Amino acid sequence: MSIPFSRDIPIGDGYDLVVCGGGPSGIPAALSAKRAGLKVLLIEQTGQLGGVGTSAGVSHLLGGRTKDNKHWCVAGIFKEIVEDLAARGGALNPVDIEGEQFSPHGWTGKVSNLTYGVPFDPIQMVALLDEKMLEAGVDVLFFTAMVDVVVEDGQVTHVVIFNKGGLLAIPTRAVVDATGDGDVAARSGCDFVKGREEDGLMTPATLMFHVDRVDQDVLASEIYNTGSNRFKELIQDLRDKGEWTFDYDIFITVQLQEKGTLMVNTTRICDVDGTDGRSLSNGMMQGRGEVSRLFALMQKHFPGFKDARIKMVAPVLGIRETRRIVGDYVYKVADVGDVLNFEDNIGFSGYGWDLPDPKKPSYQPMHVDAGAPKLKRMYTPIPYRVLVPKPIKNVICPGRAISVERHVLGPLREMGPCYAMGQAAGLASLQVVRDGVAFKDVDTDRLRDDLKVVGAVVDWHE
Ligand SMILES: Cc1cc2nc3c(=O)[nH]c(=O)nc-3n(C[C@H](O)[C@H](O)[C@H](O)COP(=O)(O)OP(=O)(O)OC[C@H]3O[C@@H](n4cnc5c(N)ncnc54)[C@H](O)[C@@H]3O)c2cc1C
């Protein structure tokens, strides 16, 4: 059933570019476009910038360093933020690490592929991001959601936003859809798919929480003794005794920027659809219930957690997968193995396959399937064309809603590569606004040159 709904709404000030979403892809899009001279509005539905990294408590940037920790494979605004945050004590820079296995940058060496991340304090990250926006002069509207668009002749002419002031139509020349969910692409009629081909199911969600007062030396020595940081035997034992009743059977934690403070990335909530309000609400409630029960088990049984304390439970559910746009080119799993170079490379990811099965949350199909191609290089290239939806001409979609087969999200959905894509989207907007071309017709040689000027990595290190 439906009812017609139509009303006049006020028109706000016009912009060259509206960036919808202030996460790892929206932040660099807004900053790079504004620094290059465009008039930019950034709208964000929460009250802070950082996206999943801050609001969903995923305070650990991955994919920005090569797997040998020798090079930045994402630089530009990503590196600037890492370095500025590290300089004020809000992050640890992987450049400074000594190669130990038990490391706040992840369990390095053979123990895990969480290598060479950037752990950070979300409170300091949010403050730094505010400063960056103020310095650059980006107009930021918090507590504001993109709810619809007006489309004429294949172009978005207005972004319809909602906040406490009501509905407002913002005239714009171009739009960066950095919502992670492809909200703008979907509302403007672009082609998209969602979830697994056979049943539409998506990889599980996680409600993240941070704990402090962990005795990390006790935890580390147990991991060194057993050679495993996932505690599978302990979990099996608890399951046999009826104490562990969750769908998952691995325990994942990462140290944040302070020893003894850890992010617990362990809950896995199946059957959540991040584009459905009811499903998200149910997922939050289930997640909070699991966090309480899991933490009680951690204190009772897990080495080092006896005196630990919950510091924060994320107020936003961590969603790994929803819509993916379908552009002229869809980046295939096979291409990740085969393709060594794209002429329109705009960045890289230093991370690997990682998209748990929707129904078996501790099972990683790409880690065990013989069909998964070996990554031939230490990092994966990102072609510009995966950011471009069709048929709308002035929308671009960096971040986790890109045009890829779903397992290609493994390397590309991490925050490092999202920063690379966002910076490319921001600079591509210059051509769209100034030369009046569609995003699909952007001169990618020129874009790559513009990216090099601002320090982005667009060519392989040899
Ligand atoms: C549980 C979990 C663990 C992860 N672990 C890691 C990790 O350790 N390291 C790593 O690098 N990556 C990790 N990732 C992946 C990574 O965090 C995300 O893929 C990445 O943040 C995606 O960036 P994005 O900018 O596309 O979207 P997001 O980070 O989701 O940002 C989108 C922003 O847009 C806003 N928004 C959404 N819709 C609207 C709207 N309609 N109007 C206005 N604003 C809107 C949101 O509030 C949000 O701030 C993890 C993800 C999850 C869920």
pLDDT in tens, 169-202: 999 999 999 999 999 999 999 999 999 999 999 9
Q: Is the CB of 256 under 6 A from ligand 1?
A: no
pLDDT in tens, 89-146: 999 998 887 655 566 555 555 544 446 889 999 999 999 999 999 999 999 999 999 9
3-state secondary structure of 322: coil
Q: Are residues 379 and 234 in the same domain?
A: no
**286, 313, 340 — which closes off a domain?**
313
Expressed in angstroms and rounded, the spacing between residue 400 Cα and the centre of ligand 1 is 8
Q: Are residues 216 and 355 in the same domain?
A: no
Which ligand 1 atom lies nearest to the CA of residue 351? 11
Q: Convert 334-356 to b/e letters by CB count within 10 Å (16 or more is b).
A: ebbeebeebebbbbbbbbbbbbb
Please report the pLDDT score of residue 112 as a whole number. 45
Expressed in angstroms and rounded, the spacing between residue 275 Cα and the centre of ligand 1 is 13
Q: Are residues 21 and 170 in the same domain?
A: yes
d(CA 425, CA 419): 10
Expressed in angstroms and rounded, the spacing between residue 23 Cα and the centre of ligand 1 is 6
Please report the pLDDT score of residue 373 as a whole number. 74
Cα torsion angle, 185, 265, 80, 68, sign: negative
Over the chain, what is the mean pLDDT? 93
Q: Is the CB of 27 under 6 A from ligand 1?
A: no
| Alpha-helix runs per DSSP H in 362-457 | 365-368, 409-412, 415-435, 444-453
Expressed in angstroms and rounded, the spacing between residue 20 Cα and the centre of ligand 1 is 13
Q: Is the CB of 43 under 6 A from ligand 1?
A: yes
Q: Is the CB of 44 under 6 A from ligand 1?
A: yes
Say yes or no to pLDDT of 376 above 70. no
Residue 374: which pLDDT band, with cuts at 50, 70 and 90? confident
Please report the pLDDT score of residue 313 as a whole number. 98
Structural domain count, the chain: 2
pLDDT in tens, 281-310: 999 999 999 999 999 999 999 999 999 999
**268, 292, 313 — which closes off a domain?**
313
Structure tokens at 351: 């991370």
Please report the pLDDT score of residue 101 as a whole number. 59
**259, 288, 313 — which closes off a domain?**
313
Residue 228: which pLDDT band, with cuts at 50, 70 and 90? confident
d(CA 70, CA 74): 12
pLDDT in tens, 210-224: 999 999 889 988 887
Q: Are residues 378 and 433 in the same domain?
A: yes
| Alpha-helix runs per DSSP H in 339-414 | 365-368, 409-412
Q: Which of 22 and 336 is assigned the larger pLDDT?
A: 22
Which ligand 1 atom lies nearest to the CA of residue 398? 26
d(CA 230, CA 232): 6
Expressed in angstroms and rounded, the spacing between residue 412 Cα and the centre of ligand 1 is 12
pTM above 0.85, yes or no: yes
Q: Are 77 and 31 within 8 A, CB to CB?
A: yes
